[in-house]
Amino acid sequence: MPVFCANLSFLFHEAPFPERFALAARAGFRGVEYLFPYDWPAAQVREWLDANRLVQVLHNLPAGDWAAGERGLACLPGREGEFQDSVALALDYARTLGCRRLNCLAGIPPAGSDPDRVRGTLLANLRFAAHEAQAAGVRLLVEPINSRRDMPGFWLDRSAKAEALIAEVAPAPLGLQYDLYHMQVMEGDLAPTLERLMPLIGHMQFADTPGRHQPGTGELRFDYLFEQVDALGYRGWIGAEYRPLAGTDASLDWFARWRDREPPTD
């Protein structure tokens, strides 16, 4: 059965980041994810996990200068060395944190970039990162993110593009991170798409749309979708990556029926 983890970059914003681990555990979550751990020593983050008996489910590779608008290094020509260094750093953190999945944000190509060079750079970087991750016992994922609202210009913005990338990177082991919110914004038709892509999916995330808030605030039928995911045999984690309305605790009504599921073992 699907098991839900809290994305601490989005949930429990009422408290400083180090305190969110305890709040997530108190709410009944058994695992956590977040965008990046790199502002804190890995050993310190591990202490927060262990103190609250939480599994580190997933985090992203470093994504460049986030404050300046960068959203990933993988598709940026001329930044290959920086990308390879980011893979090494992410894997160092993953080893310390016991994290078995890393997400690689494709990025936003610079204006005027040659499309073929951008795509070739992305493929070469993904092959490198996937092999490095496999050697470390970690699964590398890529995530399509909507380019209409949240990340204008983001290269990897549709599920079919991710599917094609995964096929071309093979035999390097690359998986799919599928976010219901992003793909509803870009393409809809979620249930049949999930059925087609389920063999590739290594992690899932969700938020309602529009607004990117908790289930019940928008147009998605989450009970139906979660039951569909279960029927398709998904046994991994699903990350709650939404912006709560009126506080995190008040946003967790959806979680009551799912909170006692046993966490995945891998």
- Catalytic-residue membership of 241: yes
Q: What is the dihedral of CA 74, 205, 240, 129, to 10 degrees?
A: -30
Q: How is residue 176 written in tokens?
A: 């799919």
Torsion-angle region of residue 108: left (phi > 0), alpha (psi -120 to 50) or beta?
beta
- Alpha helices in 52-206, H assignment, sequence order: 80-97, 115-135, 159-169, 180-186, 190-197
- Catalytic-residue membership of 70: no
If residue 60 lies in a helix (H) or strand (E), which one and from where to where?
A: strand 55-60
Q: Of the listed 47, 70, 195, 241, which one is catalytic?
A: 241
Which single residue is written with the structure tokens 């995964």?
166
Which single residue is written with the structure tokens 């609250």?
52
Q: Of the listed 14, 132, 143, 262, which one is catalytic?
A: 143
DSSP single-letter state for residue 189:
-
If residue 55 lies in a helix (H) or strand (E), which one and from where to where?
A: strand 55-60
Catalytic residue numbers read: 143, 241
